[in-house]
Amino acid sequence: MEEQDVVQEQDAADDAEQRQREIEAILEEYQRRQMLEHLTGPFVSLIVHIIMILACFFLMTGKQVEQYSDIEVSIEEMEVKELDPKIIQELQKMENVPQDVVPPVERPDVPQDTAQAVTEDFSNEMAQTDDAMDFSDVLDIKASDTPLKISGLYGGRNSEGRKKAITRFGGSSVTESAVLKALRWLKEHQNPDGSWSKAQPLAMGGLGLLTFLAHGETPMSPEFGPTVQKAMQFLTNAMMASTDPRGVGQGGYVNGIATYALCEGYGMTKIPFLKPAAEKGLEAVLKGQQPCGGFDYTYNKTKRWDTSVTGWQIQALKAGYVAGCEVQGIPTGIENSSRFLRNVAYANGKFGYSAPGQGGWGVHSAGTLCLMLIGEANCPEAKTGVTNLDEGYTPVWDDKVESSDAGNPAYVWYYATQAMFHAGQTTWKRWNKNFSPMIVGSQKVDGHWDSPGKGPKGAAKSDIDPYYTTCLCCLSLQVYYRYLPTYKMPEAVAKSAGSVFDAKDEDLGLEIE
């Protein structure tokens, strides 16, 4: 029995071994077939390609190449005819006109010493103005229609004009070096969208652009071109996107400053895309003017007026007039502003902030300068304003006092410096001798300025403080060439209901270098 069991077990083992061999044989055959299937395609393809190559070879070598006869070529000189001079002139105009939209431009950073040529001819000592310098000449300004050409009002801003103006009016390499340091700081701290600061990007964007324009910088400038271009695009986009009839920033300060910058940018460069934005801002300014000729916050038409707000609107209107912006009512708006300023000046010659004669030195300086800007430098109110500043106010940098954005003394200096400059001669010399060293000496090493003093009640200063103070201080140091000594809107135009473009004004034709 046991022997039979052993035999059965052996048979079972043999059967299992046989089945295993069969399975392995099946798997081996399957793998062989799979390999053949995978190799068949490439092998056949290889054979076909070999046959095709051989066929092409025999076809090409077996066919005699045809012989082509030589072709004789004769060359005749075409007659060249000169274009009509009128056509050439039109082509040159087309070549010089910039595109409606200036695309972003990547420009290499220029080394810090690039602009050194601007200052190399000046003494490190403060230059002395000429006692006999005459600021009585009056220019009737007309905007130039040529792109990137500086018209009369901006004639001192090119490289050569700056050198002459700095030497003549009391600047030096020291003041110009401070300006360049400030511009480079602003360039480094510009927001990616072209604005400055987080809290007030529109207002600081306008002030920043004005600061670069004051130095004659345009989108074509080697070092600061991209900075200027981004600021222009930022303000233009914001203005054109606004659906508020008050312009940008709910009117008031913000729209006035932004419009001022857009108008000055268009007036200097004639870049087409700036014009609609500048005109839209001007329309908002004119709509926001009160019957008395002044302006209030957010362009309210209440009985309250604000000389500080009004100052920025007058500067915008003046820049719009010079730029040749086609907005109806600019001369009338300027005339009404002149009437307003003369009415809010009190018997003591002080201009009011929101009531006649009750303003501080800031609005007093603003009122005095704005009368000068619109051609009223010889009126009693403007003359008394200059006398009050000359005899009653001395700029002092005091780091012990508390100050806020509203009380920043750089605001006073911005207006007062320009007013004293246009007053001329010994008045300007006294101011410049004290003011310029004070400002230059207070500049931070990196090129910016913080406002004098401490924040109110020990608080930190605002986000806008370094941008606001830097722009105002830099603009004050650019006074030597920012404007020509005197200028006046033609009286006949100011009092006319016609177009401001009908005036016959002077264009100095000074081009940006």
Q: What is the pLDDT of residues 194-228, one digit of tens each?
A: 999 999 999 999 999 999 999 999 999 999 999 99
* Confidence at residue 357, expressed as pLDDT on a 0 to 100 scale: 54
**Residue of higher predicted confidence among 29 and 251:** 251
* Gap between the Cα atoms of 385 and 422, Å rounded: 12
Is the pLDDT reported for residue 421 higher than 80?
Answer: yes
* Confidence at residue 407, expressed as pLDDT on a 0 to 100 scale: 80
How many residues are recorded in the chain? 513
227 found inside a domain: yes
406 found inside a domain: no
71 found inside a domain: no
**Residue of higher predicted confidence among 264 and 59:** 264
94 found inside a domain: no
459 found inside a domain: yes
323 found inside a domain: yes
Q: What is the pLDDT of residues 41-56, one digit of tens each?
A: 666 677 767 777 776 6
Q: How far is CA 158 from CA 140, 203, 453, in A?
A: 20, 26, 35
Is the pLDDT reported for residue 495 higher than 60?
Answer: no
On the 0-12 / 13-18 / 19+ scale of CB atoms within 10 A, 474 is buried
How many C-beta atoms lie closer than 10 Å to residue 291's C-beta? 9
**Residue of higher predicted confidence among 242 and 34:** 242
Is the pLDDT reported for residue 512 higher than 80?
Answer: no
> What is the overall mean pLDDT for the chain?
77
- Number of domains, the chain: 1
Is the pLDDT reported for residue 499 higher than 50?
Answer: no
Is the pLDDT reported for residue 102 higher than 90?
Answer: no
**Residue of higher predicted confidence among 94 and 161:** 161
State which residues form the domain around 482.
Answer: 134-343+420-511
Residue 286's CATH number: 1.50.10
300 found inside a domain: yes
Average pLDDT over residues 267-287: 96
Cα radius of gyration (the chain): 38
Is the pLDDT reported for residue 353 higher than 90?
Answer: no
Average pLDDT over residues 258-270: 96
Predicted TM-score (pTM) of the model is: 0.70
348 found inside a domain: no
Q: What is the pLDDT of residues 125-164, one digit of tens each?
A: 444 444 444 433 333 344 444 444 444 567 677 788 899 9
Closest CA to 252 of 332, 207, 310: 310
Band (459; pLDDT cuts 50, 70, 90):
confident
